[in-house]
Amino acid sequence: MKVIYQKPESLTSTTSTYCPGCGHGIIQKIIAEVIDELNIRTKTIGVAPVGCAVLSYNYFNFDVTEAAHGRAPAVATAIKRLLPNRIVFTYQGDGDLAAIGTAEIIHAATRGENLSVFFINNAVYGMTKGQMAPTTIPGQKTTTTIAGRNPEIHGYPLRICELLSSIDGIRYLERTTTSDIPGIIATKKAIKRAFLHQIGNNKGMAFVEILATCPTNWKKTPSESMVWIKEVMEKYYPVKIYKEPHEIIK
C-alpha cells in the first residue's frame, strides 16, 4: 500500500490544546512537514515563546527549549553560536516578539544571527484571553480596548516586517498569510526558504511573519476569522517579500 498522507515525524501524537480554528495548529504542522522534508529533525532545536505556543515542546518531536517572555532570540543566539551545525529556530507570537521582546529581535537581527524566526501575528494576546497586542488593528475590539483600538489613545499598530527591513543582518524577510489554501502553501514555501537559508550556512537572519487566526479572542468562527485576515489584516499588513533570499535556493 502506498502512503499518500501521514502525520509528520516531527510532530508528536500529543493532543493539541489549541482552540478550534487556531492558526498555531496549521503553522506548527507545516513547520513539522518542512523539517521532515529537509530531513533535519535530529539536528533541529526549537525555541518556544511565552504565550499559547509555549506548549509547542509538547507537540514538536525534536529538541525544544522554553525561553522567558520575548527572549527567544537571545536564547537562540547562544545555541546557534555554540552549535553552528544545528538548525535553530524561534517561534514567537506578537506579544512576545513585537512588545516585550522588541529589543531581543532587533538586536539578534542586527547582529545577523543565523537563525530562522517565525513570527505569528494574530493581532491579539491569545493566552491571556484577548488583550490589545502591538499589532492590533485600529478599530479592533479587545479586552483592553473594548470600544476598539483608537490610535489616538492606544497608538498605532507596529508593522514588524517594515521595521526590520532596514536591518542589514536580515537576509530574508517575508510576510505570508494563512487566510486561504494558496496562502498556506506560500507560507510553507517561505518556512522552507527560511530553513534553507540557514542550512546553506548563509549569514544573517531569515524572518517570516505569518498572519494567523485567533477565533476565540476575535469572537469569530474559524471561517469568519479566515475572511477577517484577508479583508482586514492583509490590508494593514501587506503579504509580500521584503527581502529576497538571493543566494539561498539552489
Contacting positions for another protein (CB under 8 A): 41-45, 47, 54-55, 57-58, 60-68, 71, 74-79, 81-83, 86, 103-104, 106-107, 111
Nearer to another protein by Cβ, of 84 and 151: the residue is 84
Distance CA 25, CA 7 (A): 13
Closest CB 41 distance from another protein, rounded Å = 7
**Taking a C-beta distance cutoff of 8 angstroms, is the pair 134, 98 a contact?**
yes
* 99: three-class secondary structure by DSSP: helix
Nearer to another protein by Cβ, of 68 and 241: the residue is 68
**Taking a C-beta distance cutoff of 8 angstroms, is the pair 242, 173 a contact?**
yes
Nearer to another protein by Cβ, of 44 and 121: the residue is 44
Closest CB 118 distance from another protein, rounded Å = 17
Nearer to another protein by Cβ, of 83 and 249: the residue is 83
Residue 177: its H or E element: strand 170-177
Nearer to another protein by Cβ, of 100 and 241: the residue is 100
Distance CA 15, CA 34 (A): 21
Closest CB 105 distance from another protein, rounded Å = 10
Closest CB 14 distance from another protein, rounded Å = 11
Report CA-CA distances (Å) from 35 to 147, 180, 220: 42, 22, 32
Closest CB 115 distance from another protein, rounded Å = 11
**Taking a C-beta distance cutoff of 8 angstroms, is the pair 161, 109 a contact?**
no
Distance CA 167, CA 66 (A): 27
Closest CB 55 distance from another protein, rounded Å = 8
Nearer to another protein by Cβ, of 81 and 129: the residue is 81
**Taking a C-beta distance cutoff of 8 angstroms, is the pair 234, 227 a contact?**
no
Amino acid at 170: I
- Residue 234, strand partner residues: none
